Amino acid sequence: MANIKSQIKRNRTNEAARERNKAVRSEVKTRVKSAERAIAEGADNADELVKQAVKSIDTATSKGVYHRNNAARRKSRLMKHAAAGPVEG
């Protein structure tokens, strides 16, 4: 445990930020997963779900949860799946 007053406060703020970031990451993962599932099934609303997933990735980036290159990579992969269309099988 820290003895320095400023470090004690910093630990509290870090914990609060960690919880916020965790919630944002979880939302992004959920939206991306639902978009990928819709793409694989060829659902009618797949485009809308992809749009929502990209928006949540952009929001996470603007909040500083993801680095911009990380966000670009995630969006690129998602769009690549969307362009490929439903999986035949």
Q: How many CB atoms lie under 10 A from the CB of residue 33?
A: 12
> So what's the pLDDT on residue 85?
82
Give residue limits of the domains in the chain: 5-84
1.10.533.10, 3.90.930.60, 1.20.58.110, 1.20.1530.20: which CATH number matches 5-84? 1.20.58.110
List the one residue out of 29, 1, 21 whose CA is nearest residue 66. 21
Question: DSSP string of 18-47?
Answer: HHHHHHHHHHHHHHHHHHHHHHHHT-TTHH
Q: pLDDT truncated to tens, each residue of the chain (89 aa)? A: 889 999 999 999 999 999 999 999 999 999 999 999 999 998 999 999 999 999 999 999 999 999 999 999 999 999 999 998 887 65
